[in-house]
Structure 1
């Protein structure tokens, strides 16, 4: 019985792990255009997606790493340059497609979603 309870506890921790963020600046603000991967998108990902135990370089939830640009672009359909509606990342952010765990969407605001969409519209370049 104790083993079962420990297993349930561990499973609860694992499945809820992506429901928190690493903290830091909760107010990452994207400009209206000329979005920079390095200065806007990457910090947004670090705060909301690419930390342990989610999509870091060590913890590949769903086999996906969102740490570096080349990892992100290599995921088929995840980012479709110039097509935010066709990009699975935008669909996840807008809750239009399932995400295995329920990450804490409360940390993601409308400006950030629009910023990611704009970055993709601008070609999703590594700048």
Structure 2
């Protein structure tokens, strides 16, 4: 008698259920929640790593100052006035939507970044 066991794994990091989030509703931590998003999607060559600093923005090094060639890109407590957040949805100020590849961040990642900004964008 032969038994077959099939294991599956979702390697894309997206929640398994629609609307499910991998992030807490409040008190987001930069190091635990936000930095991993940047590390996976933004802070590598030739993008926003400490060596390349595309657009003058380094999302790899700490402490973060959120300055770029366009000025301050994160306005603590206001996702709607933060260029970094706006660029997750659309191109603006002659800057392409981020990340520039065809793959957009997952909805819960975008919401986590927005919530973190609204909570003060603490390090």
Please give the TM-score of this superposition, normalised by the length of structure 2.
0.71
Cα deviations across residues 70-110 of structure 1 (Å, max 9, x unaligned)? 33434433110000000001011121523288622525111
5+ residue gaps, structure 1, are: 1-24
Q: Does residue 13 of structure 2 align to residue 27 of structure 1?
A: yes
Please give the TM-score of this superposition, normalised by the length of structure 1.
0.69
From the CA coordinates, give the structure whose radius of gyration is larger.
2
Could you list the structure 1 runs, at least 4 aligned residues long, displaced by more than 6 angstroms after superposition. none
Question: 2:53: which partner in 1?
Answer: 60
Question: 1:89: which partner in 2?
Answer: 84
5+ residue gaps, structure 2, are: 1-10, 15-21
Q: Which has the higher contact order (CA 8 A, sep 6+)?
A: 1
Question: 1:120: which partner in 2?
Answer: 117
Shift of 1:68: 2.7
Coordinate RMSD, CA, aligned: 2.3
